[in-house]
A and B are shown apart, each in its own frame.
Chain A
């Protein structure tokens, strides 16, 4: 029996090596011990040369993390072994680079293997690429710099913009918010820091590619975006990850502050490998007449729990959450959105489209809160689910809490199944069954895919097509 297990492990190793899906942790300059305790937290902070206040925050967050129970209301999370995870890994090569040429060859190869399309490469000049826990590539386009836009790693921001960071860091998502936000605050590493000055409209989307690369490596990036009055910015994060033998944890935190009249669009294309727990806290504060959009496409990961939220704090603020979730065999996509209407004349919209196949489970979980002091609030929530086969499941748990007497709030949900007549029609036109299914799924999610930048909608469509195809599973 042992021989068989060894053979399988060897085969897996060969396969992983051949296809670039495996790298040992040998190539990292620094790795904390597995597991988490105060010493690990202190060590991370020491390695990064952080100021005292940040260490204190990390330690406080660690205590919150220790004190909070694993949430029992969503997907099954009990299997996460917090003692079997590396909380900090730093690549051996130069940690930060200013040009693509300086990025270590080994890391470049990894990105090549990920198949990042040519269309996206052209943006690398303005992108941050996260390789495990450290930003290894960072450059800001000259024109952005001229406009005063700051687009750097959050670690760098600690050193270069400590006052601004201290003012906002942990204020939108405090460590006490939930267990995984606390964990992130304790051990965070990497992520993006963006500041867009007043009235600056960033025409080109700022992008970052993230990936987990080491077995059992946790990824705890921390992103903070501050859009000053009247500014506009689109930030795109895409996640890809190789397949590993054991579970991996991704617990990121994204904090966004959209000042008066600002417009922030945050796009996520999440395609973690199907052994990853993706437990992300994303939250935005939108002030007077600000407009916050979360566009969230969830295809990968084993268990995904993500509910981007918007606190509409200023009069006339607007919040939108557009969410796509695809759950295949063994996947749990527990997604949704939360909107808090805290001021007058605020509006919001949540649109969720989910597709389940095989034993995949999609769950929409949303909260719509209208404060008693918020008058003339308008909000609509729509969630549609598509089941592709007999084993798929879907759940919908919307919470609508309305305290204001003049709020107009609506929630609608529908469930559909893959129509045999639709399939028959498409197949009679010469499409294969897989292509027909993909066509129907793409039609179902089209209203959301349309709002993505072209190159991302192309990539998303490609991913969905692969994901809904029986050959990929």
Chain B
């Protein structure tokens, strides 16, 4: 298949499919159709300011600007034109985009593939900055961990684009046998940017992957995590924290599949929603027949800080194998008055007390990040956003 045919077929897939084809979630998803349709008309504009990527690395090993690698200080990262890809790449991408509007959109409009490959028995430690300035961008990042290799990645996603812009990125991760990695991602885009984040991960025998994902910025955010364990004894863990305020909307969905025996799939998602923000947290644990002695656990927690905010939680399970350990849990509650009283009795005001509790709530996810420095970097915007929302409440109540 040639490049042009691939692009045309991807566009056809994009146009033919609907954003949410799963009947279970028809009432519980964030429709980004209008935003995408408005933004993709800018997709063919090639110029980019490359403002940050061209002049500074700010401690990052690589900078990806509008879907292109603009700074690189490591051998682990390479970039290829999709037009030059071979070895069944197009067929594979078309298959993944079949019936899936979001994947086919990225397939149709991305031009480059950024590849991170770690050789066997080697370790890579990477910090990558994603910058976006365009109205529409689509990036594909492939991470390949060869047998026995390991990786620690931190990705910071920022934007300096106009209101209504749509940033989309697809992570395609292949974890080889005995390989392992930790991926930490902070989405801290501007509040008027729309974000589509796809995370597709397949873990080989005795491999493991841990992803800690934080969503702070963005106007509308759609996140789709698709985790499969085709290797026996493999282990996956997806931890997510969402902090919403203003009119922000989030649609976070994690599909975890225990494909083989003795695999472990765990997901822990926490949402802190303030003002008029809204969040869908959806988790689907699927245990296939034959995945004996597997573990599957989904946890979803939510705090609603304001009357206008709301959270929809849908922790689903579909179990086809009897010899498994599977649980799921969803919980939404306000900050405990008793806890607040205790903290305030130590001399702190209510806003600080609420902030401390909410921060502690998010730290349950951040504590999974083993690098203290990264943990601190991600905690910063979360903390600022929580306190800003709480202080805004105080201001509103004083004005009222």
Residues of A within 8 A of B (CB): 72-73, 372, 385, 387-390, 392-415, 417-418
13 A-B pairs with CB atoms under 8 Å apart are A394-B318, A395-B316, A396-B318, A400-B332, A402-B311, A404-B304, A409-B330, A409-B331, A412-B329, A412-B330, A413-B317, A415-B326, A415-B327
Assembled-state Cα–Cα distance A394/B319 (Å)? 5
* Pair B323/A417 contact, Cβ less than 8 Å: yes
Find chain A residues with CB under 8 A from B209 CB: none
The minimal Cβ–Cβ distance linking B280 to chain A, given in whole angstroms, is: 9
Residue of A nearest to B292 (CB): A390
Which residues in A have their C-beta under 8 angstroms from that of B313? 398-400, 402, 411
Contact string against A for B residues 293-329, beta-carbon threshold 8 Å, 1 for contact and 0 otherwise: 0000000001011111111111111111111111111
Q: A342 to chain B: closest CB distance in Å?
A: 15
Considering the chains assembled together, what is the distance between the CA atoms of A401 and B322 in angstroms? 30
Which 8 residue pairs across A and B have the least CB separation, nearest first? Answer: A387-B322, A411-B330, A405-B304, A415-B326, A400-B313, A403-B310, A417-B322, A396-B317
Distance in angstroms from A413 CB to nearest chain B CB is: 5
- The docked-state distance in angstroms from the alpha carbon of A156 to that of B205 is 68
Contact A405 B328 (CB under 8 A): no
Question: Quick check: B318 and A398 within 8 Å, CB to CB?
Answer: no
Report the nearest B residue to A411, measured CB to CB: B330
- Taking CB atoms, residues of chain B closer than 8 Å to A396 are 315-318, 328
Contact B317–A415 (Cβ < 8 Å): yes
Chain B residues lying within 8 Å of A403, measured Cβ to Cβ, are 310
Q: Return B263 CB to nearest CB of chain A, in Å.
A: 15
A411 contact set on B, CB distance < 8 A: 313, 315, 328-331
CB nearest neighbor in B for A71: B23
C-alpha gap A54/B311 in the complex (Å):
41
The residues of B that contact A398 with a CB separation of less than 8 Å are 313-316, 330
Find the B residue at minimum CB distance from A381. B330
In the assembled complex, B372 has its CB within 8 A of some CB on chain A? no
Given A393-B318, A394-B317, A401-B312: A409 touches B332 (CB 8 Å cut-off):
yes
Report chain B residues within 8 Å CB of A372.
307-308, 310
| Distance to closest chain B CB from A35 (angstroms) | 28
Given A372-B307, A415-B327, A399 and B314 contact (CB-CB distance below 8 Å): yes
User: Chain A residues near B327 (CB, 8 Å)?
Assistant: 412-415
Nearest opposing residue in chain B for A388, CB measure = B322
B123 part of interface (Cβ distance < 8 Å): no
A357 to chain B, nearest CB (A): 10
Q: CA separation between A397 and B312, bound complex, in Å?
A: 13
Q: Which residues of A contact B308 (CB under 8 A)?
A: 372
Q: Would you call A73 and B319 a contact (CB within 8 A)?
A: no
Q: How many A-B residue pairs have CB under 8 A?
A: 115
Beta-carbon contact of A408 and B333 below 8 Å: yes
Given contacts A390-B289, A399-B314, A414-B327, 5 further A-B contacts (CB under 8 A): A72-B23, A395-B318, A402-B304, A402-B332, A411-B328
A residues near B11, Cβ cutoff 8 Å: none
**Chain B, Cβ-Cβ closest to A412:** B329
Instruction: Give Cα A394 to B305, complex, Å.
Output: 35
- The chain A residue sitting closest to B333, CB to CB, is A408
What are the residues of chain B within 8 A of A401 when measuring CB–CB?
28, 310, 312
List B residues 16-52 near A (Cβ within 8 Å): 23-24, 26-28
- CA A418 – CA B311 in complex, angstroms? 35
Chain A CB within 8 A of B334 CB: yes
Report the Cα distance A385→B319, complex, angstroms.
Answer: 10
Closest to B328 in A: A413
Q: Please state if A405 and B306 are interface contacts (CB–CB under 8 Å).
A: yes
Partner of A408, one of B289, B312, B314, B334: B334
Q: How far is the CB of B304 from chain A (nearest CB, A)?
A: 4
Which B residues are within 8 Å of any A CB, using their own CB?
23-24, 26-28, 289, 302, 304-334
- A387 to B317 alpha-carbon distance, docked (Å): 14
Which residues of the other chain, B, contact A389 by a CB distance below 8 angstroms?
322
Interface-centre pick from B304, B306, B321, B324 (highest chain A CB count, 10 A): B304
In contact, A73 and B330 (Cβ under 8 angstroms): no
* Distance between B272 CB and nearest chain A CB, rounded to angstroms: 11
User: Of A73, A404, A412, which one neighbours B307 at CB under 8 angstroms?
Assistant: A404
* Residues of B with C-beta under 8 A to A397: 24, 314, 316
Nearest CB of B to A150, in Å: 39
- For B310, what are the chain A residues with a Cβ–Cβ distance below 8 Å? 372, 401-403
Q: Which residue of A lies closest to B279 (CB)?
A: A402
Residues from chain A with Cβ under 8 Å of B324 in the complex: 415, 417
Contacts of B306 in A (CB 8 A): 405
Tell whether A392 pairs with B316 under 8 Å between CB atoms, given A401-B310, A405-B309, A411-B331.
no
CB-CB under 8 A from A417, the residues of chain B are: 322-324
A410-B331 contact in complex given A394-B317, A415-B319, C-beta closer than 8 Å:
yes
A266–B330 CA distance with the chains assembled, in angstroms: 28
Cβ of B229 to closest chain A Cβ, rounded Å? 18
Using Cβ atoms and an 8 Å threshold, which residues of chain B touch A407?
304, 332-334
Q: Flag if A393 contacts B328 (CB, 8 Å).
A: no
* Complex interface: chain B residues within 8 A of A409 (CB): 330-333
In the bound assembly, the distance between CA atoms of A264 and B319 in angstroms comes to 35
**Nearest CB of B to A400, in Å:** 4
Distance of A418 Cα from B26 Cα, bound (Å): 35
| Chain A neighbourhood of B321, CB < 8 A | 390
Whether A413 pairs with B305 at a CB distance below 8 angstroms is no
Separation in Å of the B239 CB from the closest CB of chain A?
19
Determine which of A395, A408, A412 lies in contact with B319 in the assembled complex, contact meaning CB atoms within 8 Å. Answer: A395
Q: Are A73 and B23 in contact (CB under 8 A)?
A: yes
Write out the residue numbers on chain A whose beta carbons fall within 8 Å of the beta carbon of B304. Answer: 402, 404-407
Partner of B317, one of A395, A404, A408: A395
In the complex, A369 Cα to B396 Cα: how many Å? 27
Q: Which of A72, A73, A392 contacts B322 (CB 8 A)?
A: A392
- Given A372-B310, A397-B24, A408-B333; A390-B315 close (CB under 8 Å): no
Q: How far is the CB of A383 from chain B (nearest CB, A)?
A: 9
In the assembly, what is the distance between CA of A412 and CA of B309, in Å? Answer: 23
A405 interface neighbour in B23, B307, B318, Cβ under 8 Å: B307
Give the nearest-CB partner of A380 in chain B.
B331
| Residue of chain A at shortest CB distance from B303 | A405
Which residue of chain B has its CB nearest to the CB of A407?
Answer: B332
B320 neighbours in A (Cβ, 8 Å): 393
Q: How far is the CA of A409 from the CA of B332 in the complex (A)?
A: 5
Bound complex: CA A145 to CA B300 (Å): 52
User: Which residues on B sit within 8 Å (CB–CB) of A390?
Assistant: 289, 321-323
CA separation between A397 and B315, bound complex, in Å?
A: 7
Instruction: Closest B residue to A364 by CB, please name it.
Output: B317
Tell me how far the C-beta of A84 lies from the nearest C-beta in chain B, rounded to whole angstroms. 26
Q: In the complex, A81→B353 CA distance in Å?
A: 61
Give Cα distance in the complex from A408 to B308, angstroms: 16
In the assembled complex, the Cα of A255 lies from the Cα of B27 at a distance in Å of: 25
- Chain A nearest CB from B332 CB (Å) reads 4
When the two chains form their complex, are residues A405 and B305 in contact, meaning their CB atoms are under 8 A apart? yes
Q: Least Cβ distance of A408 to chain B in Å?
A: 4
> In the docked arrangement, what's the CA distance between A411 and B317, Å?
13
A406/B317 in contact, CB under 8 A: no
Cβ contacts under 8 Å, B334 to chain A: 405-408
Chain B residues near A388 (CB-CB < 8 A): 322
- Give the CA-CA distance A403 to B280 in the complex, in Å: 12
Q: Which A residue's beta carbon lies closest to that of B280? A: A401
Once the chains are docked, how many angstroms separate the CA of A226 from the CA of B120?
72
Bound CA span A414–B322, Å: 12
B370 to chain A, nearest CB (A): 29
List B contacts of A387 (CB < 8 A).
319, 322
